[in-house]
Amino acid sequence: MTVESTAARKPRKRSTGARKASPKASPGAPQSEPELVQLLTPEGKRVGHAENAVYDEYVAGITPEELRGLYRDMVLTRRFDAEATSLQRQGELGLWASLLGQEAAQIGSGRATRPDDYVFPTYREHGVAWCRGVDPTNLLGMFRGVNHGGWDPNSNNFHLYTIVIGSQTLHATGYAMGLAKDGADAAVIAYFGDGASSQGDVAESFTFSAVYNAPVVFFCQNNQWAISEPTEKQTRVPLYQRAQGYGFPGVRVDGNDVLACLAVTRWALERARRGEGPTLVEAFTYRMGAHTTSDDPTRYRLDDERLAWEAKDPILRLRTYLESENHADEGFFAELEAESEALGKRVRERVRAMPDPDHFAIFENVYADGHALVDEERAQFAAYQASFADGEGA
């Protein structure tokens, strides 16, 4: 299935129109009808100018070209993601964690960052990586098993993927504390999910960032599922409300609305840069695929739920909007289709060409200043390997 055919598919279920948009929802509000910041409805209708003026102003002047850019980012990210899933099925990758369905949350927030901001991702932020200019094939090295990441975080101010959930929120907070000490005019954004929201490290990062007024945005993609556990297993209150207890604002945004995600994240990052401290953004979205390629969601959730979310597809709604406003023509979509296929091909070829690491990579970079035991064991390993070479030569 190509991206364009996915994006062009008609929604199966129409929602009843624009939701009442307010960042404040009462505790215990049903998760199925959350109140959230929305600027573009699932039907592709631009809303929220009045109700969400505080956020709307951050995208008020957005140009058709910028809108097409957001659309392009989402389509290409989805195409890259689909290619990676295929590569796993073909045995080229050991594992893949798909972002399918979360494109708007990632592109909207990612495009809100400036080059001098710093991003701390989980392991699923392929769309954010794309926005930061990280070469997509770099992300595949760890899923192929040739390294544990390995890109230079400082090249794009995009930290390594973090697999143990929630740990990076503390690194983000520490980095933000450093920015504040340096008097830098930049901010940090920390990604995590609904599952990680239960981790102690996330709670501690809220405490530290609040106490030190650190310039950090906590961007929680609530994709409803932590592998097999629904959000109800993590929390009794909507996640964004947790911020209140720590003394900083929390906002829930429609995570499938790229405009709203862009606006709210820009707002939160600006607050941070102005020295007003941390913000929690809960992007309410949905993990359309499995947790990873090793997961089987049919064991724990009904397909109806996925179909209902398909009607809120982030790419489809922006396409509808672009078309209804005549912001994009057939030529644009056709060109993007071709670009997507070219990206898929490029990723495929580069992954297949990715060499296995040298055996001695095991001993590389264990320490910055060296370590006697590593040197000793490297020498033993070399001697062991050389013993086979001798045998072959005999």
Partner 1 sequence: MAVEKMALAKAINESLRTALETDPKVLIMGEDVGKLGGVFRVTDGLQKDFGEDRVIDTPLAESGIVGTAIGLALRGYRPVVEIQFDGFVFPAYDQIVTQLAKMHARSLGKVKLPVVIRIPYGGGIGAVEHHSESPEALFAHVAGLKVISPSNSSDAYWMMQQAIQSDDPVIFFEPKRRYWDKGEVDTEAIPGQLHKARVVRPGSDLTLVAYGPMVKVCVEAAAAAQEEGKSLEVLDLRSMSPIDFDSVQTSVEKTGRLVVVHEAPVFLGTGAEIAARITERCFYHLEAPVLRVGGYHAPYPPARLEEEYLPGLDRVLDAVDRSLAY
Residues at the contact surface with partner 1, assessed by CB under 8 A: 147-154, 159-160, 162, 164, 167, 169-179, 181-182, 200-201, 204-205, 207-208, 211, 364-369, 371-374
Total residue count of the chain as it appears in this document: 394
Nearest to 260 by CA among 77, 95, 34: 34
Instruction: Tell me the closest approach of the beta carbon of residue 185 to partner 1, in angstroms.
Output: 14
- What is the DSSP secondary-structure string of 74-115? HHHHHHHHHHHHHHHHTTSSS-----TT-HHHHHHHHHHS-T
Instruction: Tell me the closest approach of the beta carbon of residue 373 to partner 1, in angstroms.
Output: 5
Residue with smaller CB distance to partner 1, 353 or 372: 372
Nearest to 70 by CA among 37, 111, 98: 111
Residue with smaller CB distance to partner 1, 219 or 309: 219
Instruction: Tell me the closest approach of the beta carbon of residue 384 to partner 1, in angstroms.
Output: 16
Nearest to 78 by CA among 107, 38, 111, 121: 107
Instruction: Tell me the closest approach of the beta carbon of residue 155 to partner 1, in angstroms.
Output: 9
Instruction: Tell me the closest approach of the beta carbon of residue 47 to partner 1, in angstroms.
Output: 38
Q: How far is CA 36 from CA 29, 141, 282, 303, in A?
A: 12, 37, 9, 24
**For residue 232, what is the enclosing H or E element?**
none
Catalytic residues: 287, 291, 300
Q: Treating both helix axes as pointing N-terminal to C-terminal, what angle do 64-89 and 258-273 enclose, rounded to 10 degrees?
A: 100
Instruction: Tell me the closest approach of the beta carbon of residue 321 to partner 1, in angstroms.
Output: 38
Residue with smaller CB distance to partner 1, 90 or 380: 380
CB atoms within 10 A of CB 343: 18
Residue with smaller CB distance to partner 1, 193 or 255: 193
d(C-alpha 138, C-alpha 123), whole Å: 13
Would you give the DSSP letter of residue 224?
S
Nearest to 165 by CA among 212, 230, 104, 120: 120
Residue with smaller CB distance to partner 1, 220 or 322: 220
Residue with smaller CB distance to partner 1, 192 or 225: 192
- Name residues whose C-beta falls within 8 Å of residue 11's C-beta, 6 or more positions apart in sequence: 42, 43, 310, 311, 312, 313, 316
